[in-house]
Structure 1
Amino acid sequence: MIKHITGEDRSQIPLFVASLEETIAQDNQVRLIDAFVDSLNLDELGFKLKTDTNGRPPYHPAQLLKLYLYGYLNKVRSSRDLEKECLRNTEAMWLLCKLAPDHNTIASFRKNNTKGIQRVFQATVKIASHFELIGGTLLAGDSTKLRAQNSKKNNFNSNKIERHLKHIDNKLQEYNLALAKEDGDLELKKSIVKKVKKHSAQKQKYLGYQNTIDTTGVTQISTSDPDSRQIMTRNNISEVAYTVQTTVDALHNIPIDFKVTNENDSKAMGGMLRRAKTIVGHNNFTAIYDKGYYTGSEFDYANRLNIDVLVAIPAVSAHAPDTAFDVEHFKYHKDTDTYTCPANQTLTTNGNWYNKTNGKSITQMKHYKTTACLSCSFFDKCTKNKKGRLIERSQYADLIYENKLRIQNNYEIYRRRQAIVEHPYGVIKRQWGFYYIMTKKTIKHASADVGLIFTAYNLRRLLNLIDPIEFKQYLKALPLFFNNYAKHFKAFYSSVFWAAHQTTFYRKLFFCSLNQLYLR
């Protein structure tokens, strides 16, 4: 007879019953999640701790935050799935001390604590900085698109509304003709009248959408998730999605900032640089971006912040009949404010500035031209304009040229961009499958979901890069120090904590101080 491994009898009563604590190994990472949340001052982070004396008491925010972080680290985001984990997962039972909140409670916590979740993410960045995992000298910025809980069918712009209205008008015309011809069949007449009412109601709905577009200035309307927009993702493929702007530190590919928007990248660089300057505490760093951020006004923003940027140069959008006469081959002379063309002719300007509108932005331009064009033998190769070649120079041209020189002189640094900033996206979207937004109804709720995603990602990086024992000691010592000693040693704390972020020696000194306080 073939023997197989057999399990225990389900009805057998064990002699020694193991406690829930004993079922979780000491090196299980769920213990570090527990210690991380316990180290946070949730009241200061913006979570509601005070409760009403009447009625059933609510769950403590720490319990629900632990559940969410555990879920996101294990690829579980749905509130209903998290509810199930509380009832069947030993690690989740240990983490929540066998509490089992229902899915409505779990979902409400995420959508009602956007700011608190953002600050929890910031806490992971501070921990990474404390353990010298943030270099602060090279940052990479980029965005990714996460699909919203809104189908393309429920997203409307003026052109789409116009097509729907045209289709409805054609249908109503057909029905009215059918009613005019119908004189005997009452059932058929009732059916046609019903269809007329249905299409008329649809028409009023689309007219309402168009009125909203005309009066509010929005370009799109999404009915399921109002703040989401139809955005080009790749290769002329569009999705109704959100754009997540991210700034990633190069040392260990740790995101230090994120922002959820419903716009493209063209106007995003300046704001993200300003935030990055605040986070790292200085502007002595280089930031690298792809060609989607190549906007003159954003170069000006970076220049005013005194931050060096390396932004990829996009290909020329408009070519001359002969590419040898493209604008890049016209040489600018700053001292005389003139251009020399490939035919060695000089183009001059009258010095006036002209406004050029591109979407909502306005850029000032100078025009450069020469009368020599009309008699030039290269005229047909240079331009199709019958009046001759016209060169436009932006008010940001000098800053754009400086970026070009930085790219040429630091190309090997720029080549690192993709390896730095795509690392988090690869983990989040490919490994974890988080390629869509879990929540809906406003960008605020989407930000909470994204905040938990990036908090979980940073925690994963911290768990992989920091010795677990040292990490656990740090997390346990931190709240004790702040709660019992910070008020009495505020000056000491300020000076030593600042020094702890500057050198390895002082960082270890500060950590040892925390550890001694904890051991007491």
Structure 2
Amino acid sequence: MGRFIAGADRSQTTLFPSCVDDWIGADNPVRVVDAFVDALDLGELGFDGVEPAATGRPSYHPSVLLKLYIYGYLNRVQSSRRLEREADRNVELMWLVGRLVPDHKTIADFRRDNGAAIQGVCSRFVLLCRQMGLLAGGSVAIDGSKFKAVNNRDRNFTKAKLERRRQQIEESVARYLSQLDTADRQEPTEILAAKTERLKEKVARLEQEMRRLDGLEAQMLAQPDQQISLTDPDARSMATSGRGTGMVGYNVQIAVDTEHHLIVTHEVTNIGSDRAQISGMAMKAKAVLETDRLDVVADRGYFSGEEILASEQVGVTVTMPKPMTSRAKTAGRFGKEDFVYMPEQDAYRCPAGEQLKNRFQTVERGMTLNRYWTSSCPSCPIKAQCTTSKERRVTRWEHEDVIEAMQKRLDANPDAMRIRRQTVEHPFATLKARMGYTHFLMKTKPRVSTEMALHVLAYNLTRVLNIGGSKAILKAIAT
């Protein structure tokens, strides 16, 4: 006769180990958290309360709360209330914080008041990874991803949103007024009177909402980007990859080592576009890695001639595809890439073999541009394949050679974009999974940056544990 696996009798007397340390294995990650925090100079990092106050109720040492948070983010427990409960029932946390159970308010205040110091702890772990030889390479992949903020889309306003909302209100008011006119032409009854009163209340509420929108518009127009968020004032409406979709949140930038997929550096921004981010992120990664030369791969969303040039000038070699923006190519005509630049003559050779000479120079948006064309276009036999205008003109930036060199690197290394995708998209998926595919818990950019630093620290710690194990990290901390 079959049987099931039986559990222990609840009334059976059990002899637990004599000390909590016996419950924690030698390779348990919680020992790494403990050793890492104990090795930090919390006062130098800027944590409050490193020295106890001479008077008043004794406080918790910041190392206790920092260990609690690192353990929590490592195990997908980010809420201060959940951390309070875990500290009271979790044996690993009992060992880590000495059976202390801080209340959720104390836990939340620590994260709120020590943002810069917590971000410094994240940076210190990256330095530890470099000391372990895990960041010896000089190549990173950079990408950005949108993370939701604690701000509903209905509480974010742009000029277009306000106009749509006003139009909806005007349509509703017109509909209710029409119903009131209809009611006035009918015989009065109690039911009709009640309906009329409800309609008047709805119209009054909509008029009040219209006045509220007028006040919001004044606040919105005072903002540099003419956008306002009511719950999290720093959050911004951003487009996402899906057509017609978007979210109110932050654009998180990360630079990831291409060898071990560790996050070298990160930054939280509220700018929806990636175009102005590549040079800043590259220089931060270069400083962290302490290398003279750095190779960076990114997607076409980062393409900006000025940013690529700024990166090259500080020793960063950028590789990314150039976006195809030519309408000529879309219409089946020759694109700019079909014209060959000849530096000796400072001219372009067109597909028909004619030379397009440098005719004049202009400055647009701070960029010096040269215009090239030839007078042979009207009589060209393949003009219809080239342009619908009188002549085909080619524009060249004064630093176009930087873009051409980047294209040659991409042609010589066609796997660069595959490596980029495999390197930098996986960390974002992991970070969002750890968050539970939900929004940040904190509000405003500085505090969201603190929360993101804890997520990045937990990610990097998990990666290093998978690569070398607890003993390797403990050995590196001890030395």
TM-score, length-scaled by structure 2: 0.89
Match of 1:29 in 2: 29
2:308 counterpart of 1:299: yes
Query: Superposed, which structure 2 residues align to 1:247-262 within 5 Å?
Result: 247-262=255-270
Sort the Cα spacing of 1:93 and 1:186 in 2 relative to 1 into closer, same or farther, 3 A.
Answer: same
Q: Counterparts of 2:364 and 2:100 in 1: how far apart (Å)? A: 63
Sort the Cα spacing of 1:469 and 1:177 in 2 relative to 1 into closer, same or farther, 3 A.
Answer: closer
Q: Counterparts of 1:87 and 1:279 in 2: how far apart (Å)? A: 38
Match of 1:408 in 2: 411
Preserved contact between residue 235 and residue 270 of structure 2 (Cα < 8 Å): yes
Correspondence for 1:459 among 450, 458, 461: 461
Amino acid at match of 1:296: G
Sort the Cα spacing of 1:326 and 1:471 in 2 relative to 1 into closer, same or farther, 3 A.
Answer: closer
Query: Superposed, which structure 2 residues align to 1:87-166 within 5 Å?
Result: 87-166=88-167
Amino acid at match of 1:171: S
Which runs of no fewer than 5 residues in structure 1 stay unpaired? 357-361, 478-510, 512-520
Match of 1:241 in 2: 249
* Count of residue pairs the alignment pairs up: 470
Sort the Cα spacing of 1:400 and 1:13 in 2 relative to 1 into closer, same or farther, 3 A.
Answer: same
Query: Superposed, which structure 2 residues align to 1:266-281 within 5 Å?
Result: 266-281=275-290
Amino acid at match of 1:262: N
Q: Counterparts of 1:16 and 1:365 in 2: how far apart (Å)? A: 78
Amino acid at match of 1:30: V
Which runs of no fewer than 5 residues in structure 2 stay unpaired? none
Correspondence for 1:389 among 389, 392, 405: 392
Amino acid at match of 2:374: T
Sort the Cα spacing of 1:364 and 1:197 in 2 relative to 1 into closer, same or farther, 3 A.
Answer: farther
Query: Superposed, which structure 2 residues align to 1:39-438 within 5 Å?
Result: 39-49=39-49, 50-175=51-176, 187-188=194-195, 190-236=197-243, 237-263=245-271, 264-320=273-329, 323-356=332-365, 362-385=366-389, 387-413=390-416, 415-430=418-433, 432=434, 434-438=436-440
Amino acid at match of 2:428: Y
Q: CA deviation at 1:23?
A: 2.2
Q: Counterparts of 1:52 and 1:182 in 2: how far apart (Å)? A: 73
Amino acid at match of 2:312: N
Identity %: 34
Q: Deviations over 1:72-99 (max 9, x none)?
A: 2112222222222112211122212222
Q: Deviations over 1:245-289 (max 9, x none)?
A: 111122311111000112221110010111122112233221111
Aligned residues: CA RMSD: 2.7
Q: Which moved more, 1:237-246 or 1:32-41?
A: 237-246
Q: Counterparts of 1:244 and 1:435 in 2: how far apart (Å)? A: 15
Q: Counterparts of 1:340 and 1:106 in 2: how far apart (Å)? A: 68
Q: Counterparts of 1:25 and 1:321 in 2: how far apart (Å)? A: 63
Q: CA deviation at 1:21?
A: 2.4
Preserved contact between residue 328 and residue 335 of structure 2 (Cα < 8 Å): yes
Amino acid at match of 1:44: E
TM-score, length-scaled by structure 1: 0.82
Q: Counterparts of 2:315 and 2:79 in 1: how far apart (Å)? A: 43
Q: CA deviation at 1:43?
A: 1.2
Q: CA deviation at 1:466?
A: 3.2
Q: Counterparts of 2:317 and 2:2 in 1: how far apart (Å)? A: 72
SS of aligned partner of 2:359: coil
Amino acid at match of 1:455: L
Sort the Cα spacing of 1:413 and 1:195 in 2 relative to 1 into closer, same or farther, 3 A.
Answer: closer
